[in-house]
Amino acid sequence: MLRIGMLTSGGDCQALNAAMRGVVKGLAANVDELEVYGFENGYKGLIYGHYRLLTSSDFSGILTKGGTILGSSRQPFKLMRVPDENGLDKVEAMKQTYHKLNLNCLVILGGNGTQKTANLLREEGLNVIHLPKTIDNDIYGTDVTFGFQSAINIATDAIDCIHTTAASHNRVFIVEVMGHKVGWLTLYAGVAGGADIILLPEIPYDLDKVVDAIAKRSSQGKGFTILAVAEGAISKEDAALSKKEYKAKVAERKYPSVSYEIAAEISKKLGSEVRVAVPGHTQRGGSPCPYDRVLCTRLGAAAAKAIMDKEYGVMIAMIDNKTKRVPLGEVAGKLKTVDPNGQMIKEAKRIGISFGD
């Protein structure tokens, strides 16, 4: 009898169900006896023993279903070693649940924080496999994460929709795209949506350069400008502050987000109307796109093979369009950021896109 546990942790995305389905179908087609335990609401389920035995019917019809059938929650890695309000040792509790069910492996789907906890459990002696999920595409060691392409499609559609109203009213529009620490999603959606200015966390912007880019378009007879701005976009002045100073400044910010602050500053300098559109959590919702369905099916099947091979402590990555097993110890805690001097940035600049630098 092969017994595996599964959990989804952190922010949800469109293809979590597709990935779980890939794992289970990959095992069910090759293993005579299989039990799959689903832990509810991420690591909370593993900590507090909230789980259920899943059947084949649970994985039927979920390839196209967004969200996660197991539920999810955020459990900060930095608090994993801190006892809960009742003094419970979370790490020991997770290990006890794992051994109580006599699991052969725990399949963990999630982003960076989730991955760090998965690596912690590996260090504690549990058999774990991690599947890289995040719309931010910022997990080190894999070319692409599932959820990324689906989010690109939604963010791009938002920019497409803004184009028509911006052109009709000759306005400057800012579309705020998700991404606090990295700008992959904003970069791809910005290029795909034909944004004129793209502001990323990795490339601190100079507001005067942003204003100049808008003014240049106006002088060329182009009445509107579209800015794709990442949630974590930062000015050169703020980038020069210490982490503590910047955190204090953000806490005192009178605007809901950096996009509204940029809009106010542009409006003040140019005397023109600037509108902000925030697609928000729609970027994580809806059905997974065909690309993500294929990606998750492949990652899931590759995870199933790793389990059958008894090769644990790995992340199933996609590298050069091939599934690879990457040791968790080599990638956990690392962030994949946009290279300001990378080829895609240079190509975007070549066609006239401004990054405010």
The structural domain count of the chain equals: 2
The rounded distance, in Å, linking the Cα atoms of 30 and 174 is 51
Q: In 10 A of CB 326, how many CB atoms? A: 18
Are both 164 and 134 inside the same structural domain?
no
Task: Give the pLDDT of residue 323.
Answer: 98
Write the pLDDT tens digit of every residue in 330-344. Answer: 999 999 999 999 999
Domain presence at residue 244 = yes
Domain boundary at 284, 301, 318, which? 284
Catalytic residue positions? 136
Residue 161 backbone dihedrals phi, psi, to 5 degrees:
-65, -35
Distance, CA of 6 to chain centre: 19
Q: 232-284, pLDDT tens digit by residue?
A: 999 999 888 888 888 888 888 888 899 999 999 999 998 888 999 999 999 99
Q: Which of 277, 260, 266 is nearest to 175 (CA)?
A: 277
Q: Which residue has the tokens 């004129």?
A: 196
235 and 327 inside one domain: no
Residues 186 and 128 in one domain: no
List of residues 6+ apart from 104 with CB closer than 8 A: 2, 3, 4, 127, 307
Residue 277 maps to which CATH number?
A: 3.40.50.460
Residue 351 lies in a domain: no
Domain assignment of residue 339, yes or no: no
> Tens digits of per-residue pLDDT, 116-149?
999 999 999 999 999 999 999 999 999 999 999 9
CATH code: domain of residue 98: 3.40.50.450
- pTM of this structure: 0.94
Mean pLDDT, residues 296-304: 98
Q: Give the range of the structural domain holding residue 321, as residue numbers without chain letter.
A: 2-147+288-331
Quick check: is 348 in a domain?
no
Q: Are strands 172-177 and 225-230 parallel, antiparallel or unpaired?
A: parallel
pLDDT tens per residue, range 143-183:
999 999 999 999 999 999 999 988 888 889 999 999 999 99
Instruction: Please tell me whether residues 60 and 97 are part of one structural domain.
Output: yes
**Angle of helix 258-270 relative to helix 207-219, nearest 10 degrees?**
50
Pick from 284, 306, 341: which residue ends a domain? Answer: 284
